[in-house]
Amino acid sequence: MINIDIKKELHGAHGVMPLDLAFSVKKGEFVALSGESGSGKTTLLRILAGLEKAEGSIDVNQEKWLDGANALPPQKRRIGFVFQEYALFENMTILQNLLFVAKDKALAKRLLEITELSQLQNRYPNTLSGGQKQRVSLCRAMMQRPTLLLLDEPLSALNPTMREKLQQEILTLHKEFHTTTIMVSHDPSEIYKLASRVIVLENGKIKEDGKTKEILLRTQGSQKFSFKGELLELKKVDVIFIAIVAIGQQIVEVVVSQTEVKHLKVGENVLLSTKAFQPSITPL
Amino acid sequence: MDFTPFILSFKLAAITSLILFVVALPLAWFLSQTNSKTKPFIEALTALPIVLPPSVLGFYILWALSYNSPIGAFFEEYFNVQLVFSFTGLVIASCFYSLPFMVQPLQSGFESLNKNMLEASYLAGKSKMQTIFQVALPNIKPALLTAVIITFAHTVGEFGVVLMVGGSIEGETKVASVAIYEMVEIMDYKMAHIYSLFMITLSFVVLLSVYIFNAKHNRKFGLNR
């Protein structure tokens, strides 16, 4: 059980923003941390890791990591941290990277097997692809059998295929080691697949906190489908208008009426939804 | 040909480089990691020997180390060591003179390191010392080599400070650069040429090996840009 109650002043783009968070995480839980950039997600992870100062308290299984302004140094917390940009030890081979954390050859071999990296164990990090590097980083984080695993947007620099593969591996590792995990992510499908709980931050405060399904599947009214997108273009075709909307990686065309057009502005975020139709779903 | 001046030059450079490495390592690390307001002051102070005329540096070192100053008197009284016009004095003077050439490459090497990589080492339970020696230094090998070699070469090449603090005592403070100066003074151009060409060749070989090493190092770790 991890109890967190912290305060810190952040100096962001919009002046001073107080970070003020209180929540608990159960042992073995997988929590996704979401929210706009600048809302304090990374800072929270860094405070948990002991890399940044804060006031308040962090209790981890009866151990005091933060008590007032007294912080346990990062060396003593047994944290597994996966940075967005890998941060591997470039002077060491893959295997040496793992063994530097803990001299546990059996565990290193096991982790490299799960992530299919055994063939590459004697290579240096800079000769690997981004996806491979991030898998090494994940293995390295697991080497000290961490009390808490922190993932800071670990997959955002990777392409979609590599992303899916790594999501699967994170899930496998979580099932095998039951490590309490907090992951920063913006990708709803990623959060849905991995996390059982989502915490949404806004301006340094908790905006939403609940079960993944409840938060992600929330739809307004009786709408069956609703997607957030960006309005790219409004075209007039004879008497009707066509809106071009970007939803995720997809571009879609929607017919809109003259009255609707008045409320729309190109470049704005829009919610695209529909109520009465029979969706068909086909495998790709 | 008398090699004593060269041997003296290299002995001086080797000792200076060794002392400076020990002194500059913590200083460069501190400067690379700190956001303290004192940082620019310390940086300016370390860089002073680059811009000061050697005569200014030499004058003050001479003044500070001579028997008439407390420091000079202290060493002479308690250790029976004369600091000026001696090899020991040369070492002290060279340490001041070459300090920036050791600190600056190390500092910029440390600054170029990925901060997250160092943090990953702390999170792996490693102390600052372990992180410096096992993660930071091995990852700045080119900068490390540059720092040591340039300090060494710069000390071999120094002239003004050495002349002021050491004079030209045969076998004690008469290093290669001073020897060449004296040969020119007495118009022994033949020997001056031999000594000078020897210096040029040696310096070129040393610098060439540094650049070759750096290129090889970058290839090995896949850092070709």
* Residue A230 dihedral angles phi and psi, to the nearest 5°: -115, 130
Q: Which two tokens stand for residue A17?
A: 């923003």
In whole numbers, what is the pLDDT of chain A averaged over residues? 88
Q: B120 vs A126: CB contact, 8 Å cut-off?
A: no
Q: Which two tokens stand for residue A62?
A: 């009866």
Rounded Cα gap, residues B45 and A206, in angstroms: 48
| 225 residues of chain B, pLDDT tens digit each | 788 999 999 999 999 999 999 999 999 999 999 989 999 999 999 999 999 999 999 999 999 988 888 888 888 888 888 888 899 999 999 999 999 999 999 999 999 999 999 999 999 999 999 999 999 999 999 899 989 999 999 999 899 999 999 888 888 889 999 999 999 999 999 999 999 999 999 889 888 988 898 888 877 776 654
The pLDDT value given to residue A22: 95
Tens of pLDDT along A203-256? 899 999 999 888 887 654 455 677 888 888 888 888 888 888 888 778 888 888
Q: Does domain A225-274 have CATH number 2.40.50?
A: yes
- Does residue A271 carry a pLDDT above 90? no
- Domain spanning B4-220: CATH superfamily: MetI-like (1.10.3720.10)
Rounded Cα gap, residues B102 and B100, in angstroms: 5
The pLDDT value given to residue B225: 43
Chain B residues with beta carbon closer than 8 angstroms to that of A78: 125
Q: What average pLDDT does range A171-198 have in this prediction?
A: 92
Chain A residues with beta carbon closer than 8 angstroms to that of B119: 49, 51, 74, 81, 83, 87
Residues of A with CB under 8 A from a CB of B: 49, 51, 73-81, 83, 85, 87-91, 100-102, 124, 126-127, 140, 143-144
CA distances from A278 to A225, A254, A275, A283 (A): 11, 17, 9, 17
Tens of pLDDT along A147-170? 999 999 999 888 888 888 899 999
- Sheet of A197-202, strand order: A79-82, A148-152, A180-184, A30-35, A197-202, A205-211
The ipTM, to two decimals, is 0.79
Cα dihedral: B86, B91, B92, B98 (round 10): 140
Chain B residues with beta carbon closer than 8 angstroms to that of A101: 124-125
Chain A residues with beta carbon closer than 8 angstroms to that of B134: 100
Class of domain A2-216: alpha beta
- Range(s) within chain A of domains with CATH label 2.40.50: 225-274
- Range(s) within chain A of domains with CATH label 3.40.50.300: 2-216
Interface test with A, best of B117, B123, B130, B223 (most A CBs within 10 A): B123
Rounded Cα gap, residues A234 and A232, in angstroms: 7
When pLDDT is cut at 50, 70 and 90, the band that residue A282 belongs to is low
Chain B residues with beta carbon closer than 8 angstroms to that of A134: none
Helix B4-33 with B87-112: angle, nearest 10 deg: 40
- Does residue A141 carry a pLDDT above 90? yes
Angle at B90 between CA B86 and CA B94, to 5 degrees: 175
Q: Residue A87: which of B117, B126, B221 has the nearest Cβ?
A: B117
Q: Which two tokens stand for residue A279?
A: 């969706």
Q: Which residue of B has its CA nearest to A123?
A: B221
Q: Which residue of A has its CA nearest to B115?
A: A87
